[in-house]
Amino acid sequence: MKTQAFSTVAVLGSYRGGTSVVTGLLNQFGYFVGDAFFHAWNGYGTYEDLHLRRICLECFDEREGHWKLLGETEFRIDRLARWKIWAQWRATETGAIGIAGKHPSMCKFGETLRVGSCLGFGVDGLLIVGENVCFGIS
């Protein structure tokens, strides 16, 4: 099945910052945000696609006291590009209008997202979510 080009949105924000609400709304508006989601200890759904979550944790060490990017920028671009290709395929199958993803560690991927966009594997828009604020950049 041939995939089409979809608008791609990255939802950026800290843990417990409201990114799940925003990603859930994108899902309700017809964006593909994943198939299987991580369920947090608080019992709420996160709208963190398990596949994208695994990729983010391969690219960023978020253990307490470490908080550092892993691998070179090219490695992170490759991993995120693979997720985007998979998400576009799934979006085509499900009739979605776009794709969106989120994980708190993506806040640290600014350079990765910028370089990836220059290479054609980036995002078309960012939604930045924080306490009492949400704004978009396209």
Lowest mean pLDDT among 8-12, 50-54, 90-94: 8-12
Q: What is the mean pLDDT of the chain?
A: 80
Compute CA 125 distance to the chain's CA centroid, rounded to the nearest angstrom.
11
Instruction: Give the tens place of pLDDT for each residue, 78-95.
Output: 888 888 889 999 999 999
pLDDT category of residue 118 using cuts at 50, 70 and 90: low
pLDDT at 75 over 80: yes
Residue 108: closest CA among 39, 14, 17, 5? 14
Parse the chain into domains and list their residue ranges. 7-137
The answer to whether the CB of 13 falls within 8 A of the CB of 107 is yes
Helices and strands (DSSP H and E) totals, the chain: 4, 9
The answer to whether the CB of 19 falls within 8 A of the CB of 13 is yes
* H or E element in which residue 79 lies: helix 73-94
pLDDT category of residue 116 using cuts at 50, 70 and 90: confident
- pLDDT the model gives residue 47: 82
- Determine the average pLDDT of the residues in 53-79: 84
120 Cβ neighbours under 8 A, 6+ residues apart? none
pLDDT at 138 over 60: no
